[in-house]
Amino acid sequence: MKLNSGQLPWGSSFPNPPSYPALEGDITCDCLIVGGGMGGAMSSYRLSLSGADIVLIDKRAIGDGSSHANTGLLQIANDKSLTACMNTFGEANGVLFYKLCQQAARRILELPDKLNIDPHIIPRSSLLYASTPEDVPALRLEHENLVSHGFDSEFWGQDKVSSHYAFSKPAALYSKGDAETNPFRTVHSLIDKARDNGVRIYEHTRARHYEYSAEGVTCITGNGRIFAKKVIFAMGYETQEMKKDRGAELINTYAIMTKPLDHLPKWHERSLIWETARPYLYFRTTPDNRIIAGGKDEPLTDPERRDIRVLSQGQRLLEELEALFPEIRGIEAEYSWGAVFGSTRDGLPYMGPHPEYPHCYFIEGYGGNGTVYSMIAAELLADTLAGKYRPELELFSLTRSSKPSPSPAVQA
């Protein structure tokens, strides 16, 4: 699957990342991780702390799939609001989902002190603004639900928004505890540390097929075989080429990164900014005073059409950015790109085992919070592989119905 189109921004910020050999020969391990993006990176790092014998492979270079197109917003809040999650899954499970995201965000913010390569993970606040006056009542209800369940949230009226930003909106929710990152560096930082901890990493190693037995799984590659007691498939959106999830939906999404600005417009705390409209626009800054804008989602098409759409969709994003911040009118985009993006019909990611794949687990962090979902999956699967029962996995079951059972609710 061709995942990305256009000019990706992160390679130039990390021009000489670590490289790894291709697999030559036959090896064995306790756990094989297939995929060297964010899901595989989080899991390899987390499992490396357990002392287990871990191998990670990727058919590309590390971080060269969807993670290279990731815009690096890390948030506790999800595309599906807490209110909507409570309505769909029940109050206990809706809150559980948000608590897991909160815990994962905190763990991600702790990573820089534990890694050798700076992942450029920076704490940020977030502003979620009402796209229209009609969205204000739902935004106020969301604020009330967040606060009543212990999440950080401030309800801002129009005057407070306009006093902190260069734009005016009917209302907004301001919150702390989120972050921005350079996803390409983050993936490499995690995998570099995992290697230091004993994980064997192989790039440009394509899994041809798998053989399942009572003892484990044999992965046949182009130049060798890997026998693993357990396998974690962290292949992102390309998982849909291996097995179709009926609740998964793939689309095209677009983003731009501007040239550096001498001065940013009035932008409180360089916060992450997004909106209540669906599909939504979102904005963030970078340490060198660039602005990233993303959105303009559209149905999945062939990669060639996405290649053509990158420039026009990038121009539309630039116009949206200028409309929000008129003082930077005339700013230029240095990078414009498009990518495959995945979501689920019920708003929850997929993670855990599948009955048709013995000894295997999947990480499918679909939705706008994929990096946070990857951390949740890494924690839950590491515990599971260590023999600890994590009932939270039932919430994210690959075989769940459209409305998951309320049974997995536990204290997060």
In angstroms, how far is CA 105 from the centroid of its own chain? 11
Would residue 289 count as lying in a domain? Answer: no
Report if residue 253 sits inside a domain.
no
- Whether 361 is covered by a domain: the verdict is yes
Residue 384 forms part of a structural domain = yes
Q: Is residue 13 part of a domain?
A: yes
Residue 18 has φ and ψ, to the nearest 5°, of: -60, 145
Task: Please tell me the distance from the alpha carbon of residue 368 to that of residue 363, in angstroms, as a whole number.
Answer: 15
Give the structural domain span for 357: 4-70+184-246+347-396
Q: Is residue 312 part of a domain?
A: no
Is residue 29 situated within a structural domain? yes
Full pLDDT tens readout for the chain, 412 residues:
999 999 999 999 999 999 999 999 999 999 999 999 999 999 999 999 999 999 999 999 999 999 999 999 999 999 999 999 999 999 999 999 999 999 999 999 999 999 999 999 999 999 999 999 999 999 999 999 999 999 999 999 999 999 999 999 999 999 999 999 999 999 999 999 999 999 999 999 999 999 999 999 999 999 999 999 999 999 999 999 999 999 999 999 999 999 999 999 999 999 999 999 999 999 999 999 999 999 999 999 889 999 999 999 999 999 999 999 999 999 999 999 999 999 999 999 999 999 999 999 999 999 999 999 999 999 999 999 999 999 999 999 999 975 544 445 555 5
- Assess if residue 157 is contained within a domain: no
Write out the two tokens for 44. 């390899």
Please compute, for residue 324, the number of CA atoms within 13 A of its CA located in the half-sphere on the CB side. Answer: 24
- Predicted TM-score (pTM) of the model is 0.97
Q: What is the CATH number of the domain that holds 365?
A: 3.50.50.60
Q: CA 69, CA 11: separation in Å to the nearest integer?
A: 10
- Alpha-carbon gap, residue 241 to 65, rounded angstroms: 15
Q: How many domains does the chain have?
A: 1
Whether 336 contacts 310, CB under 8 Å: yes
What is the β-pairing status of strands 54-57 and 200-202? parallel
CA distance 99 to 177: 12
